[in-house]
Amino acid sequence: MAIFLNTQAISNELMKLIKDAKEKIILISYSFKVNQQIQERLKTKSKIGTLSEIVIVFGKTELKQTELDWIKEIQDLKIYEKLNLHAKCYLNEDRAIICSMNLYDYSQQTNIEMGILITKKDDEQAYESLMEEINNIKINGTRKTLDDLVKIGGGTKISTPTKLTDNKESYKKITQKPQELNLEKRLDLQLLYQWRYNVSKSEKSAESKILTDEEILKLVSQEYYSKNGLYDILPKKIVIKFGENILEALSKRNNFTIGKVVSIWYQADDSKYDRVKLKSLKTGEERWFDTTQELPHKDKTVAVRLNNTWFNDYVYLD
């Protein structure tokens, strides 16, 4: 049975909904503005790491730098924009609030708001219908990265890590893709860019002092990789210090499968994970994989680390 909520009751139930969430939190609102108390609750839930997803769906709105700053601290946050969205709905895995109230202070402290609370236990059909509509909104909305949001807000580009290896550090994107480089060599290029980045961080040195872009391109253009081959391209002191590490970084190519993203599937209520359908370019086999990664773009070629049914760290090759 639905329960009527006035302004204060909506605020109280919303905080309780976020605090009690064990599997997921989904916040749908026209405005991306979120008050500090909700921000802190989301940060806490994110750091605890027990949720399968934290989702915010918003309508077209201007974003301020302060709004961009706090979302960087929410790990695995999924953000969608739906241009004609005006609904306000907040839910976890067992209850939902449908109301007129936005998530910022003015709406909660000044306006007169109304809403209802439904639970999956008492109103299963209503809850499932709501989840079906939310999945429809997500599928037909636009998935947004932090850099996408910066463009909306007109701010400075935010540097975000792209997952490729176990250390979760970022790597340099391909800025030059000579036609003669095949897909395997493009993967090697990425592996060396990331290796260089990691070393520069640990050595507290500029990346160009480890390897220049030109040296990396020359390295990956070789037909075979060997210690002697490194001496033909790199300064002797670099080969002596890093030669084995460079070859080890390149050997990680064997951990990746190169394929084309055939389809993507956003999480439904009966599954905790998004899914990716990948076609292996080596075997031609097409398979669905579960993932906790940011979903790749359909029809893109990627190099991905697969583990049984899991689509793990990946990088675009086109």
Q: Which two tokens stand for residue 152?
A: 């909306």
Residue, of 168 and 318, whose pLDDT is higher: 318
Residues 139 and 77 in one domain: yes
**One-letter identity of residue 249:** A
State yes or no: pLDDT of 150 exceeds 70: no
Residues 8 and 26 in one domain: yes
Residues 134 and 196 in one domain: no
pLDDT, tens digit, 9 for 90 and up, residues 214-238: 999 999 988 889 999 999 999 999 9
Rounded mean pLDDT, 106-116: 81
CATH of the domain at 95: 3.30.870.10
Number of domains forming the structure of the chain: 3
DSSP label at 205? -
Rounded percentage of the chain residues whose pLDDT exceeds 70: 86
- Asked whether the beta carbons of 308 and 290 are under 8 A apart, the reply is no
Neighbours of 85 (CB within 10 A): 18
Within 8 A by CB and 6+ apart from 26, the residues are: 53, 55, 56, 57, 89, 90, 91, 92, 134
Residues 108 and 223 in one domain: no
Residue 174 within any structural domain of the chain: no
* Radius of gyration from C-alpha coordinates of the chain: 23
Residue 13 within any structural domain of the chain: yes
Residues 23 and 68 in one domain: yes
Residues 245 and 267 in one domain: no
DSSP 3-state percent helix, strand, coil across the chain (nearest 5):
40, 25, 40
Residue, of 153 and 184, whose pLDDT is higher: 184
State yes or no: pLDDT of 27 exceeds 90: yes
Residue 21 within any structural domain of the chain: yes
Residue 210 within any structural domain of the chain: yes
Distances (CA, A) of 307 to 238, 255, 293: 34, 10, 13
Within 8 A by CB and 6+ apart from 78, the residues are: 53, 54, 55, 56, 143, 294
Residue 165 within any structural domain of the chain: no
pLDDT, tens digit, 9 for 90 and up, residues 151-174: 655 544 433 334 454 443 434 444
DSSP label at 168? -
CATH of the domain at 220: 1.10.150.80
Within 8 A by CB and 6+ apart from 293, the residues are: 163, 311, 312, 313, 314
Q: Domain containing 265: what range?
A: 256-316
pLDDT, tens digit, 9 for 90 and up, residues 239-278: 999 999 999 999 999 999 999 999 988 766 556 678 899 9
CA–centroid distance for 134 within its chain: 19
Final residue of a domain: which of 101, 135, 153? 153
Residue 302 within any structural domain of the chain: yes
Residue 159 within any structural domain of the chain: no
